[in-house]
Amino acid sequence: MGAVLAIANQKGGVGKTTTAVNLAASLNATRNSVLLVDIDPQGNATMGCGVAKAELESSVCELLMGDARLDQALLRQVDNGFDLLPANGDLVAAEVWLMQNGHADIRLRELLAPARNDYDFILIDCPPTLNILTINALTAADGLVIPMQCEYYALEGLSALIETMEAIRSRSNPKLKIEGIVRTMYDPRNKLTAEVNAQLFKFFGNAVFRTVVPRNIRLAEAPSFGKAALSYDHRSRGALAYLALAGELLRRREQAATAAGAT
């Protein structure tokens, strides 16, 4: 059964969608089957995969509202190599629908359950807010990947996200855990970066990925071409960083599985 990972941070501009798209591409490049689920009404992950969100016949909106099956909404083997469940502005209507119907927080989990046998990883790109869509993603997920910049306000947003995660653990998803915190747009020359870095390791320890994602022009350019950095420029620092992140994620999961088997 595949792992479901939500990629979330309530603070915008931290590289959340960049992480979702590029981690999906990197896991796919390491011979894992991957489904990327865009559950952000902005549809940035969808556009970053080269899909015209305004031209979608079916999307995650129709899936959530029961107007389309999973196989009808899926876009298989998009240019970056992984499958995509796309989104656009119509998803706002699904937010309203979810809030007006019972079991609103477990809808996505129920819909993705059959796909867990078809993929090694299902990654969910969440909105930059703690709304019903993000709650659905966290309820569906096994683990939470948190991209964040090493700056003061990022720590404040991280605390709110952890509180939400704990609330969901106690209510509907006791297995939810922090898969890892990934430091994005990383600049080691910045004094504040070093200070926040120290705070992260103090409070979260091994939950912080050792891999960092640097500021990188090629990484920033790739979405405008509808590509992950690995497809756009596989030698760029951004592409190599996300390959390293995928490798670290896989090693962590393998070590955790080995430890669980030994107990």
Question: Which pLDDT value is given to residue 159?
Answer: 83
CATH class held by domain 3-256: alpha beta
Question: Which pLDDT value is given to residue 229?
Answer: 96
**Residues with pLDDT less than 70, the chain:** 263
What are the residue ranges spanned by the domains of the chain?
A: 3-256
Mean pLDDT of the chain: 92
Question: Which pLDDT value is given to residue 144?
Answer: 97
Question: Which pLDDT value is given to residue 13?
Answer: 82
- Pairs from 184-190 (Cβ < 8 Å, separation ≥ 24): 184/14, 184/15, 184/18, 184/19, 184/147, 184/148, 184/149, 184/212, 184/213, 185/14, 185/15, 185/149, 185/213, 185/214, 185/215, 186/149, 186/150, 186/212, 186/213, 186/214, 186/215, 187/214, 187/215, 190/150
pTM: 0.95
Question: Which pLDDT value is given to residue 263?
Answer: 65
